[in-house]
Amino acid sequence: MDYRFRRVDGFQYFARKTRLLKEEISTLSKDELQSSDESLRIILKAENTIPLIKFGNDYRSDNGEVEVDILNDRRFFAHLFKDEDRRPVYKKARQILVHLPFSGNQELFNVKPSTYSSGGYPLAEIDNSELLFTVEFFSDIDKSEDVEKEISRRIEFIKSYAGWLNNDITSFNSSIDSLIDSGLAERRKKLLQDEEILGKLGVSTKVIPSVGFIKPEKKIELKILDKKIEQIDPSLEIETYYEIIGIINSLGINLERSCQRLRSLGEEPLRDSILGALNSFYKGMVSAEAFNKEGKTDILLKYQDHNIFIAECKIWSTETIFTNGITQLLSYLTWRDTKTSYIIFSKNIDVTKVIEKAKNLVESNSNFLSRVKDVSNSCIVYRFKLSLETKNECFLTLHVFDLGGDS
């Protein structure tokens, strides 16, 4: 077991994150700056935003019997018979292994928050996406409620530290927009000054255009179908659905235009870039990884507490994973959820092969009904059955974005 939240000074950790963001912006090339400030802001923010630590429900497993030193345990008399060598006195105990699932970056459990307890630090190990710690009990003197109380105390201690660190993370994340805005302004200014000098020296230059994804001046209102007697819950107008598809495509094209440094994002920050684009239009209505029916979906747009648009994001790897992603997306849906997108990021050299494979896999799916509209060669709207056992249908739009790659 190791102590958590104490190895890395929090101030230095966030200062380093700030420095790396500024350094990245200062190396953006003229071509990279062809995207608008808003699209670059969304991409850079998705890359540099630190996800908060979140916990799931704990569960326990039996770790068997272990020998425990009871020399300093005042529930026993061993402490009365300490010799000068303070040799341990062992007694058999039952050990419980407590699993506490979490989401977030593992490295955060080594960062010391600006607020901390004088009572020490939590003791736990990290295994993939779980924190693990052990609790022992002696069945001849301990009661189940006492063991439960100790487990709860340990969990709350961990969550207290995570909460303090989350406050620091939130503060850092809230500063990212201004860091990006000032950094982009300084970078554009420097490149323009460079071009001015190059122009005076007779070196041919081009003006850097500002194109691509543009943030709206105000939030766009969702167009919802008129409610009928038999239709209790709201549903998106098809016009708004195509609008959402257009927003996703616009940001995806900017991702394709970005350099490899920005294209090398993992699945979660790529997802967050799409999330950021949608929230630019529908502020506060779009969430990530929200629980919905059978699992967690990547992107969920809600209206009056009703799901009206659901999207799943995947990095292309194999045909099986792609097909499983469709099944996963459909499993999230209820009969009220009828507008969806399946967003694929391809890091393969030949994206045309990926697009054709994706289309074939979609149209060979047992729930496929028809091809509705080709928005572009890599963006196609389909009709799908929610399941083979129902007549209820949904729209599923396939998006494939080319992020380049080596394989």
pLDDT digits (tens, 9 = 90+) for 229-259: 344 455 677 888 898 999 898 888 878 877 5
For residues 174 and 155, is the Cβ–Cβ distance under 8 A?
no
pLDDT digits (tens, 9 = 90+) for 379-395: 999 999 887 777 788 89
* Averaged pLDDT, 332-337: 71
For residues 396 and 342, is the Cβ–Cβ distance under 8 A?
yes
What Å distances lie between residue 134 and 65, 68, 282, CA to CA?
12, 12, 45
CA distance 345 to 351: 10
Query: Which tokens sit at 325?
Result: 């992603």
- 3-class DSSP state for residue 379? strand
Torsion of CA 230, 236, 242, 246, to 10 degrees: -170
Q: Provide the CB-side half-sphere exposure for 281 (13 A, CA).
A: 22
Helices (H), 258-318: 260-263, 267-281
CA distance 108 to 172: 13
* Choice among 33-37, 100-104, 344-348, 398-402 with the minimum mean pLDDT: 33-37
pLDDT score of 29 more than 90: no
pLDDT band at 33 (very low <50, low <70, confident <90, very high): confident
* Averaged pLDDT, 78-99: 83
CA distance 57 to 284: 26
CA distance 183 to 22: 6
pLDDT band at 72 (very low <50, low <70, confident <90, very high): confident
pLDDT digits (tens, 9 = 90+) for 171-188: 999 999 999 999 999 999
pLDDT band at 126 (very low <50, low <70, confident <90, very high): very high
What Å distances lie between residue 329 and 354, 366, 387, CA to CA?
19, 14, 11
Torsion of CA 229, 230, 233, 239, to 10 degrees: -90
Average pLDDT, the chain: 85
For residues 247 and 277, is the Cβ–Cβ distance under 8 A?
yes
DSSP bridge partners of 164: none
Please tell me the total number of residues recorded for the chain in this structure.
407
**Of 22 and 226, which is predicted with more confidence?**
22
CA distance 111 to 339: 41
Helices (H), 27-74: 37-48
**Segments making up each domain of the chain, as ranges:** 2-38+48-172, 219-402
pLDDT digits (tens, 9 = 90+) for 200-213: 888 876 655 555 55
CA distance 120 to 160: 12
Which contacts qualify for 236-242: CB closer than 8 Å, 24 or more apart?
236/308, 236/309, 236/338, 236/339, 238/395, 241/309, 241/339, 241/395, 242/375, 242/381
Question: Which amino acid is located at 351 in the chain?
Answer: V
pLDDT digits (tens, 9 = 90+) for 258-317: 756 666 778 888 888 888 888 888 876 777 765 444 455 578 887 776 778 889 999 998
